[in-house]
Chain A
Amino acid sequence: MTSSAVTTVTTEPRRGTGFLPRAEFQHLIDLLGEDGRTVIGPTVADGAIVYGEVRAVSDLPVGMGAEQSPGRYRLVDHHDERYFAYAVGPTSWKRFVFPPTLDLAESHRDEHGHVSFGPVHHEIPKLAFLGVRACELAALGIEDRVLLGGPYTDEDFRKRREHALIVAVQCAEPGGTCFCTSMGTGPGVRGGHDVLLVELADGFLVSSGSEEGAGIVARLGLSAATEDQLVEGSDQLVAARDRIGDPVATAGLHDRLLAKLDSPRWAEIADRCLACTNCTAVCPTCFCTSVSQRSDLDGRTAVTERRWDFCFTKGFSAVALGGNFRPRVQDRYRQWLTHKFATWIDQFGTSGCVGCGRCITWCPVGIDVREELNLIAPPPVLGTEAQVAAHAPRTSVFHVDAVRPETHDTVTLALSTPDGMDWSRLHGEFVMVSVPAIGSIPISISRRLPTGMELTVRAVGPASTFVTGLERGAEVGLSAPLGHGWPVEAAHDHDVVIVGGGMGFPPLRPIVDEILAHRASFGEVHIYHGARTPSDLLYKEELAAWASRGDLDVGVTVDRADTTWLGRVGVVTQLFDHARWDGSKAIAFVCGPERMIQATVSTLAARGITQDRIFISMERHMECGVGLCGHCQVGPFFVCKDGPVFSLAQLGDVFGREGI
């Protein structure tokens, strides 16, 4: 939107609040619908007030309201003329700016194995949102922070946001589950709108909140509101505030909630909680998604579809081979509540809750977060403002230059891209490997090459099995490197201890490469690798070469072996629990299954390496790779974006906690 001297002059006389008689409301609807906009607003359907297309006053819930309590919603007829005398219903505006399902990309694989990836373009509709409440404006502000405020942004969301004109309506009829007052988001509108309406008995107070809104208000040609009308409006708002009260003690809630991760109440809630996802689905800020591919029967063409997903499902936190970090309903409820009210603040600077009460009303068994928060524990809330940054990562086509078998189920692929970019200089720990119609999986970089990288992949599911079956010349899609990698610079002038278990070893190999490239910058270097059996050991020749250099201490052990194996048998910690090196000068890098990391970390600690000098890489369910889909959340972190490498000091008591 551009501002010009001309628009400033025309809006000037209308800066105050005007009055729109009820009988002229259709005029406003018609104006909103100009410029090809569709007006979306409240309408009665299926026993509730939902958001749908509004063409005429008769589409609005004239005289209707709703009684709301935990697990219950009933329409009521007020037998009056009001259009907006209801508290928010099951629909939120999220649906219109962040659609429940969205095709993101299309990919192809032809009969020669050539792959291609392309975006799906969507026509973004021009919409006018009529009847947006203060809590809902706050929710849109929170979504702006989440989806537009980080290094990666959701461009589809941005366009839909920019294409929506917002007509707010001041709340006068709060519902029985509202608590915006506690969350500091309402009931009064405090910005974020284009036009603001206050519904009075005979009509509407009308004011503007943006230049575009001012233009519309100017065209309504309103007379100025009277003093009495203004008082009527503010009295309604005060009455609304009083009716809601302050049901949740939010001061210090963040800290109090996170101090109660071990509360017995979580298990009690799980006795009632259906894990049905309704609370998250109706929440106006929950943003988690999953992507999956639909393909044709030959797997030649696939469409990547994003859909709302919910932290209450099993699949949401599942990792390869049936593992799951949040197996119990109590783990999932705790994840939802602590994210919404505590770790969201750490991540985005605001609470994730606006107090709209939808999760309470629409919970089929009526679990009331107000009650639960007050029972479990009781945080500062801020206003919101959106930021703008870069794009989501693109998928580039890479060629397989070489395939080296490591074990019976694991191969190392050397990949390069013809795009000429020096990939070795790109930071990041892992890439998303995509195969049209098969799927997309996160794989750690196991070596950086001038024109690409090496990936060591183990066949555990259909997608990884496909990738391990690729031959020289094959093509796959790769995202740019993602996540925070190992802080190898921090180890300069220190001794280095590298411990890799199983498939946790490949992500550590670039550290060894880096050390060898600047050997003099590091002190003693100890490399320990544990595997299941001798035939599962990775990089056998490299390990032997490293060991024979004389300036690297290399230890290898396996969990079990037959008699032909003359090396060590035992767990990886036994390689160094009686070693002679001095931990006080060392930095450790550890990767492997979480339980192995735990054992390793305690052995390292016993050898004098402090928590701030132990770095680990965490495994979680990763999909988008850029902190937008929500799957990989651990406490206040997204593993994909904030990690996967963390220092133990950074993770604090999040590390090793059950069900997190």
Chain B
Amino acid sequence: MPQTEGSTARTEHDAEFVALLNATWFGANLPPEAQVRLVGLARRYQAPAGTTLLTEGQLANEIGIVLSGRVSLRTLVPEQGWVTILTVEPGDIFGQSALVPPYRSTSTVVALQPVDVLALDGPGLRAALAADHDLAAVLYPRVLQALARRLNATRLQMLDLFAR
């Protein structure tokens, strides 16, 4: 990325975002080039408790990295109402459906506490991953790790171990 005059503000902004990424297990210790690419696709937002961040079935336009606060993944079960399947804690991601066709959220994501989120633009990230194999090579393992962890948790939850 060419350095241009007057980009100090942008650079400071990027450095702050890189620091934020490094504070999460998902984003920490990525190569500097990869971090710069991600920061270029990122926005940061805060939301109060109770905010619906994503709705099941709707397009997931962003992957969120929770910086602070707690986010719940919910699904509506007829006769049971809303059931919380999992909570996402600081450092972990939600909205990874933005990377997987048909890019629609598989659960409804609601902030349980005031949250601070670093969000990566979905279409932009997809394009970057398709074009930049170095980025793909370092980022996909993180995404896989997050998914595998979630899959493993889901299996154990499904066993309903504490029912016995």
B-binding residues in A (CB < 8 A): 320-321, 323, 501-503, 530-532, 536, 557, 559-563, 565-571, 573-574, 577-578, 592-593, 595-596, 599
* Contacting residues, chain B, for A565 (C-beta < 8 A): 84
B84 touches A561 (CB 8 A): yes
* Contacting residues, chain A, for B140 (C-beta < 8 A): none
6 contacts across the A-B interface (CB closer than 8 A): A557-B87, A560-B83, A565-B84, A569-B85, A570-B157, A574-B89
Least Cβ–Cβ distance between A7 and chain B, in angstroms: 63
Q: Does B112 contact A (CB under 8 A)?
A: yes
CB-CB contacts below 8 Å: B137-164 with A: 149, 152-153, 156-157, 159-164
Q: Does B68 contact A (CB under 8 A)?
A: no
Docked pose: A593 CA to B156 CA in angstroms: 11
Q: Does B86 contact A (CB under 8 A)?
A: yes
A593 touches B162 (CB 8 A): yes
A566 touches B89 (CB 8 A): no
The 8 Å CB contact of A501, one of B87, B149, B152, B161, is B161
Q: Which 7 residue pairs spanning A and B have beta carbons closest together?
A: A502-B162, A532-B162, A593-B161, A561-B84, A569-B87, A571-B153, A571-B156
Output the nearest chain A residue to B82 by Cβ-Cβ distance. A563
Of A321, A569, A592, the most chain B CB neighbours within 10 A belong to: A569
A562 touches B153 (CB 8 A): no
Least Cβ–Cβ distance between B52 and chain A, in angstroms: 11
* Contacting residues, chain B, for A563 (C-beta < 8 A): 72, 74, 81-82, 84, 110
The 8 Å CB contact of A531, one of B25, B152, B162, is B162
Given contacts A563-B82, A574-B153, contact A568 B162 (CB under 8 A): no
Output the nearest chain A residue to B25 by Cβ-Cβ distance. A578
Q: Does B70 contact A (CB under 8 A)?
A: yes
Q: Does B22 contact A (CB under 8 A)?
A: no
Q: Does B91 contact A (CB under 8 A)?
A: yes
The 8 Å CB contact of B87, one of A531, A532, A570, A578, is A570
Q: Does B106 contact A (CB under 8 A)?
A: no
* Contacting residues, chain B, for A532 (C-beta < 8 A): 160, 162-163
The 8 Å CB contact of B161, one of A568, A578, A595, is A595
B149 touches A574 (CB 8 A): yes
* Contacting residues, chain A, for B160 (C-beta < 8 A): 532, 559
| A/B pair count, beta carbons within 8 Å | 81
Given contacts A593-B162, A595-B161, A596-B161, contact A561 B83 (CB under 8 A): yes
Least Cβ–Cβ distance between A320 and chain B, in angstroms: 7
Docked pose: A577 CA to B113 CA in angstroms: 22
B84 touches A530 (CB 8 A): no
Given contacts A560-B157, A577-B149, A578-B25, contact A530 B85 (CB under 8 A): no
* Contacting residues, chain B, for A571 (C-beta < 8 A): 152-153, 156-157
Docked pose: A599 CA to B81 CA in angstroms: 30
Docked pose: A574 CA to B88 CA in angstroms: 10
B25 touches A501 (CB 8 A): no
A-binding residues in B (CB < 8 A): 25, 49, 70, 72, 74, 80-87, 89, 91-92, 110, 112-113, 149, 152-153, 156-157, 159-164
* Contacting residues, chain A, for B92 (C-beta < 8 A): 578
A568 touches B82 (CB 8 A): no
A569 touches B159 (CB 8 A): no
Output the nearest chain B residue to A594 by Cβ-Cβ distance. B161
Least Cβ–Cβ distance between B113 and chain A, in angstroms: 7
Given contacts A562-B82, A566-B113, A568-B89, contact A320 B164 (CB under 8 A): yes
Docked pose: A573 CA to B87 CA in angstroms: 13
Least Cβ–Cβ distance between A540 and chain B, in angstroms: 16
* Contacting residues, chain B, for A502 (C-beta < 8 A): 161-162
B156 touches A599 (CB 8 A): yes
* Contacting residues, chain A, for B157 (C-beta < 8 A): 559-560, 570-571
B164 touches A321 (CB 8 A): yes
Output the nearest chain B residue to A572 by Cβ-Cβ distance. B156
Docked pose: A573 CA to B70 CA in angstroms: 17
Docked pose: A568 CA to B69 CA in angstroms: 11
The 8 Å CB contact of B72, one of A536, A569, A592, is A569
Docked pose: A560 CA to B157 CA in angstroms: 8
* Contacting residues, chain A, for B49 (C-beta < 8 A): 566
Output the nearest chain B residue to A321 by Cβ-Cβ distance. B164
B153 touches A560 (CB 8 A): no
Least Cβ–Cβ distance between A596 and chain B, in angstroms: 5
* Contacting residues, chain A, for B86 (C-beta < 8 A): 569-570
* Contacting residues, chain A, for B87 (C-beta < 8 A): 557, 567-570
Least Cβ–Cβ distance between B112 and chain A, in angstroms: 5
Given contacts A562-B83, A563-B84, contact A593 B153 (CB under 8 A): no
* Contacting residues, chain B, for A323 (C-beta < 8 A): 164
Docked pose: A565 CA to B74 CA in angstroms: 12
Docked pose: A574 CA to B91 CA in angstroms: 12
Least Cβ–Cβ distance between B164 and chain A, in angstroms: 5
Output the nearest chain A residue to B90 by Cβ-Cβ distance. A578
A593 touches B164 (CB 8 A): yes
A578 touches B81 (CB 8 A): no
Of B83, B84, B163, the most chain A CB neighbours within 10 A belong to: B84
Docked pose: A320 CA to B110 CA in angstroms: 38
Docked pose: A559 CA to B159 CA in angstroms: 10
* Contacting residues, chain B, for A595 (C-beta < 8 A): 156, 159, 161
Docked pose: A569 CA to B72 CA in angstroms: 8
Least Cβ–Cβ distance between B142 and chain A, in angstroms: 12
A530 touches B162 (CB 8 A): yes
* Contacting residues, chain A, for B162 (C-beta < 8 A): 501-503, 530-532, 536, 559, 592-593, 596
* Contacting residues, chain A, for B153 (C-beta < 8 A): 570-571, 573-574
Docked pose: A567 CA to B85 CA in angstroms: 12
Docked pose: A14 CA to B89 CA in angstroms: 88
Given contacts A502-B162, A532-B162, A592-B161, contact A560 B149 (CB under 8 A): no
The 8 Å CB contact of A562, one of B81, B112, B149, is B81
Of A321, A565, A568, A595, the most chain B CB neighbours within 10 A belong to: A568
Least Cβ–Cβ distance between A324 and chain B, in angstroms: 11
A560 touches B85 (CB 8 A): yes
A566 touches B70 (CB 8 A): yes
* Contacting residues, chain B, for A536 (C-beta < 8 A): 162
Least Cβ–Cβ distance between B149 and chain A, in angstroms: 7
Least Cβ–Cβ distance between A357 and chain B, in angstroms: 42
Docked pose: A421 CA to B161 CA in angstroms: 38
* Contacting residues, chain B, for A574 (C-beta < 8 A): 89, 149, 153
The 8 Å CB contact of B112, one of A560, A566, A577, is A566
Least Cβ–Cβ distance between B41 and chain A, in angstroms: 24
A562 touches B164 (CB 8 A): no
Docked pose: A530 CA to B87 CA in angstroms: 14
* Contacting residues, chain A, for B91 (C-beta < 8 A): 578
Docked pose: A560 CA to B158 CA in angstroms: 10
Least Cβ–Cβ distance between B56 and chain A, in angstroms: 14
* Contacting residues, chain A, for B164 (C-beta < 8 A): 320-321, 323, 593
Docked pose: A531 CA to B82 CA in angstroms: 19
Docked pose: A569 CA to B85 CA in angstroms: 7
* Contacting residues, chain B, for A592 (C-beta < 8 A): 161-162
* Contacting residues, chain B, for A501 (C-beta < 8 A): 161-162
* Contacting residues, chain A, for B110 (C-beta < 8 A): 563
Given contacts A563-B74, A574-B89, 7 further A-B contacts (CB under 8 A): A532-B162, A559-B157, A559-B160, A560-B83, A561-B83, A570-B87, A592-B161
